[in-house]
Amino acid sequence: MTLAGLEVIVIGGGIAGLAAAARLRQCGAQVLLLEQAGGFREVGAGLQISPNGARVLGALGLDGALAQAGMRARAVVLRAGASGQQVMRLDLPPGGAGFHLVHRADLIALLESALDGVETRFVAQVAQVTPDGPRPSVTLQGGARLRADLVLGADGLHSVLRPALHDGAPESPFFTGQVAWRALIPATDHAPPEAQVFMGPGCHLVSYPLRGGRLRNIVAVQERREWVSEGWNHPDTPENLRAAFAGFGGPVPDWLAQVQQVFLWGLFRHPVARHWHKGHAAILGDAAHPTLPFMAQGANMALEDAWQLAQCLQQAPIDRALAQYQTARRARVAKVIAAANRNARNYHLRPPLAPVAHAGLRLMSRLRPDAALRQFSWIYDFDVTRP
């Protein structure tokens, strides 16, 4: 059914917020998007959009734009960190929705292009959300208050809305004992569109090309005891990154020698929210279920959330629709997050386990080359857009 006449406020102009705003507007809702950044910022670097996320972009009418903005990935290659030698190659299927390597800023721009009819307002800060009642309110810094039939919090890790759904009860994330660096370097090697994962004891490095091969994205993860603040924008020195991965071989030393700017962030594990909705308010994306980056599913889960939420709102009154949305999404995202947590352990094996595990992967690669990818078919084959 149409959502004509439904007034919606979406807090947050990231992937979840933009996708939700675009889809709800397509369904007829009147949407106000609040973004606190003073503009849609170029935050982060590379993203991997897998078929489950690409199907949502296609259903939004953005499949052609995705093909223009990203590179279709051909393979994921697992390598031994010290030597750079191939351990396993996972060839990705050439047909269907596909796997895509996209700069986050390009994905944001792509989603922004779908906001036809959405009112966007850049605000200093959202101070408070009151979810109760049929017309929940959003209070801005300075005291201005906005009301709508539905308020959605797509405002990430430090969501203003999420605590209001839990009556302000604190939910403490814990440090995983891992930190990650991210960097972009120019690429002149015309590398194929493949994601390469270099595995080492207590650390790993992921790299793939972006923007037609003109850039190379690097994410490097290391286990450590020190507590590092969350967030994407903690500058670090390239020397620290190079020192952490000094034992890696293959192309890694040359890549790291080119790094001029690098950011460091601590990886924290947050619980999946107990309550995703209250009254006429709900959360989605990282506000509901932050995930570690080891399955490359954060953006894809956000896209799925946005479509599922709009679909539920088309099928039932708001109260029932929000309950159906949580029921439809919570178990799936929890399973995806658990898979990401396992991947972190698998990438960081130490001797004597690492050589044995790598030998097993090489054997599997020869005997059943598609088996490793098939074990995640429940993620990639999922189509939230199917009625």
Mean of pLDDT over the chain = 92
pLDDT at 245: 98
Percent share of the chain, pLDDT over 70: 95
The predicted structure's pLDDT at residue 5 = 92
What is the distance between the alpha carbons of residues 92 and 348, in angstroms, rounded to a whole number?
A: 24
The model's pTM: 0.95
Q: Is the pLDDT of residue 331 over 70?
A: yes
| E strand segments, the chain | 7-11, 30-35, 46-49, 71-72, 75-80, 86-91, 100-103, 119-122, 126-130, 137-140, 145-147, 150-153, 174-186, 194-200, 203-210, 215-223, 234-236, 262-269, 277-278, 281-283
Residues with catalytic annotation? 208
Q: What is the pLDDT of residues 71-101, one digit of tens each?
A: 999 999 999 999 999 999 999 999 899 999 9
What pLDDT is stored for residue 266 in this prediction?
87
